[in-house]
Amino acid sequence: MFAEETDWYLPWMDRVRPVVRRLAERHPERTVFTRFIPAARAGDDTGTWRRYYERWRSMTVEQLGADMVRLVPELEDLSPPAAVVDKSRYSPWYRTGLPALLQQWRTDTLIVSGGETDVCVIATVLGAIDHGYRVIIVTDALCSSSDAAHDAAMRIYHDRFNEQVETACAETILREWR
d(Cα 57, Cα 38) in Å, to the nearest integer?
10
- Predicted confidence at residue 86, as pLDDT, reads 96
Q: Which amino acid is at 90?
A: Y
**Sequence-ordered list of residues with C-beta below 8 angstroms from that of 11, at least 6 positions apart, any chain:** 145
Extended strands (E) in the chain: 32-36, 83-87, 109-115, 134-143, 165-168
The stretch 52-81 carries a mean pLDDT of: 93
Q: Model confidence at 93, in pLDDT bands (50, 70, 90)?
A: very high
Torsions phi, psi of 99, nearest 5?
A: -55, -45
- Cα separations (Å) of 29 from 19, 89, 101? 17, 25, 12
Look at residue 11 and tell me whether its pLDDT is greater than 90: no
Domains and CATH numbers, the chain: 13-37+78-176 (3.40.50.850)
- Predicted confidence at residue 16, as pLDDT, reads 92
- Predicted confidence at residue 167, as pLDDT, reads 96
